[in-house]
Structure 1
């Protein structure tokens, strides 16, 4: 088999800092990216009739991963967990993947459907292609192959990342033991106290 395409990954927002450093999360994305690189190479170099979803036109892809813990009001640019590229000159595909991911998050479904059936939901500047995948709340979009090929690779990356995060979380629980909060201090964050700061204090018993 030919040499594996290079994989590059970067983390923009790390919601799992309680158990993974930015470097560890980046390495996890790289490891999953290498699996996608193997798939891209295999499907790009397959003999005629051997690639299940047809031969991939390019040996390169771009992926954008959204943060499934981001608040709904979070701006699209701030809701990106990370991105990765497979192959040379693959960064050029990231804006396309980002557009698919942002549309999926806004519409609540795959942009690949809207471009065909609901163009009234798109508007000026929208990307005219799908697909993106959502696996248990995690949205991943891919770009550079055919729409169905993009969907397949995005869905595999999303499913594998969900499984890996779950496995790391279970290992974290066994290391930490019984805790209430996913933090090093096991203390409730200030934001939750602010949410109920308006509630009156309990009445102290009258002095006797």
Structure 2
């Protein structure tokens, strides 16, 4: 394990530079949501109210911006997971339903993310996508465990199974003209993981 030195740590940005950085990440999140991770960087800079030079000073390559956006997204996923874990202590049924819908939405935040998360090899723990998978799974395991203890989910069901099913819905939705009935398909997945009667 490598330790970060003082030289490796990012320098604190000036207030105006921090505003530009935050604006670029926020606009990139919107642009990726609309057009996928290949959204125009020039358009992102324009919408953020900065020049291309400012964007490239903060993010020398598309991959740098992509990573910053996913790291920002992970904070939202982590906060939602912590909230749902607290809810699962009191109401595992509601927590399970909210988790399934939110998990789908989190993984749909930009076009193509479902496929990227499914395809990325788990062994690559240096990958930002591996980190995303880890954050997605942290709360999910606890929520499913509480649902199983309450008799709401079959014991053999794993987070990975449910996550892959939800990604399958997302990938089909992206490919089918007009999309699919997401709510109906989520209901089918949730019915399928219930204990057999």
Report the TM-score when normalising by structure 1: 0.29
Is the strand fraction higher in 1 or 2?
Answer: 1
Is the helix fraction higher in 1 or 2?
Answer: 2
Report the TM-score when normalising by structure 2: 0.30
Larger Rg: 1
